[in-house]
Amino acid sequence: MADDNLPVGAVYPTPKQALATLLSSLRYTSGRRGVAANVKEGSELYERYWAIAQRISQAIANGKVGLRNTNPVDAQGDALLEWASVFGVEGRPATSSLGFVIATVNSPALSVPIPQGFIATAPNGVRYEVTKDNSAVEDGDLVEVRAKDTGPNGDQDAGVVLTWDDASIGFLGQKCTVSSGGLDGGRDADNVETVRSRLLRKLSFPAVGGNWSHVVTLAEDSSTAVEFVAVYETARGPSTTDIAIVGSPDEPVLNTAVQTQVVSAVIAEMPGNVNYNLTSVFIELLDVVVNLGLPLPKNAGGEGGGWFDAEPYPSTNEAPGVFARVTAIPSSYVLTVDSTSADPPVAGKRFAIWDPVAKKINQHAIIGVSGISGSYNIIIDSGFTPDLSYVQVGMYLSAGAELLESYAQTVLSFMQLLGPGEKTDNPDILQYARRKPKQSVNRQSALTSLALTELQHAHSEISDVSYGARYETGTVVTRTKPSVPSVVATSPRQLGLKHLSFRAVV
């Protein structure tokens, strides 16, 4: 039977709050006996009850922690891992990078053997070993290699040249080149939050009998490189299941070697005769322009903490459809933009450009302007910022602001956690083949106002925010959600960030 004397809500007082309660009770009970208890700070009773209050609060805090650890949503550290292990969810170990290199054989008419365990070294010092015996390798053939150590340091881009450590194989060229798709899949072991996410999904969608959650679990368990799995049942017809695997936020597209590893693990465990098709994702790049309302600098009568200039450039004063885009780069410290006289660049102002390779925003200062409306030449201060070597035609300018880098990283982080879209737009098929997990549950695919809401919540100084443009990169075609692949069996589309700009709302 429930105890009616227990409080309905839990209370977790601080030591000072506990002390105040104890002293108040002491004063009340003493007063009823006609005794005036001395409970002033420094008195014997005060010091005695202060020690008691500290012990009480510590016990209450421990109880709070213990209660928190009974809930998988709030549990931390080992408590969360213990929760997960009860339901068969374990942290995945670190993995090694995997992929193919293009071998060079010095005599095109010959083939050479390359044994399992043969070692090649990359320019950054990472060593790779051949994964299986290759009895007859000809010039240009692909050889699968795996990094000897785990972690992301083993990932290499296509075109990186490796050197074989041993020159004992006759006619084998000493150099080999990383093939298309790169060396990929090197990851650190799962952290606690990744384990929590996998546990909550398993609790929400039990993995049984070959259902979509079962497919997701098998794909994730096969490699730590897999950070998200999308499943499309019956997209290609009855008894078919399409699977799309997504890598890390920085490298969402996983190469064919990792895909083969994952699909082998899924097929080996799945019951029945379902036809499986596994791919990675195809990234559709976007150019995103965000209109921001920020405080003006204090020297312009504003509150500060926002724009650098009293009249920021570029701004929403610009003619419709023009967004201060780079059209030419005449020299290391000069660039040409399509701004018009409605919102011209002015010497003395500051602006910035997003670098999509380094994934950071660089601030620049204008020291001179020439040219005409629609084709202004901006000369930047060479002593204030680096040169324009990272800039490419098609990039957009942002108005200079104190926290611009933080705004950019917030937008980038949001977009990196988008998921793949649908594989068909046929309503008759889509009602059965819609992506799982649903976009309303995990990783929506569209770039919506939620990104702006997150930006505004993260930065209280933003008074106004809206999209100026969401274009397919290099075009003026608006795109807010991924397109549907023309062939269902190919990779689903996922939005990614290419160019980014912040304009001042005026």
Peptide bond into 437 cis (omega under 30): yes
What are the boundaries of each domain within the chain? 15-68, 98-178, 205-280
Alpha helices in 34-165 (DSSP H): 44-68, 77-86
pLDDT at residue 369 is higher than 80 = yes
CB atoms within 10 A of CB 466: 14
Q: Half-sphere exposure of 338 toward its Cβ, with a 13 Å CA cutoff? A: 13
pLDDT of residue 64: 64
Percent of the chain with pLDDT over 90: 73
Q: Specify the DSSP class assigned to residue 420.
A: -
Which one, of 272, 187, 184, lies nearest residue 227 by Cα? 187
pLDDT of residue 468: 97
Distance CA 9, CA 237 (A): 53
Q: How confident is the model at residue 484 (pLDDT cuts 50, 70, 90)?
A: very high
8 Å CB contact between 497 and 319: no
CATH 1.10.10 holds for 205-280: no
pLDDT at residue 49 is higher than 50 = yes
pLDDT of residue 109: 82
Distance CA 298, CA 306 (A): 10
8 Å CB contact between 433 and 235: yes
pLDDT at residue 356 is higher than 90 = yes
pLDDT of residue 119: 97
Name the packing angle between helices 15-32 and 44-68 (round to 10°): 130
Q: Specify the DSSP class assigned to residue 132.
A: S
Between 80 and 57, the higher pLDDT residue: 80
pLDDT tens-digit series, residues 425-477:
999 999 999 999 999 889 999 999 999 999 999 999 999 999 999 999 999 99
* β partners of residue 164: 120
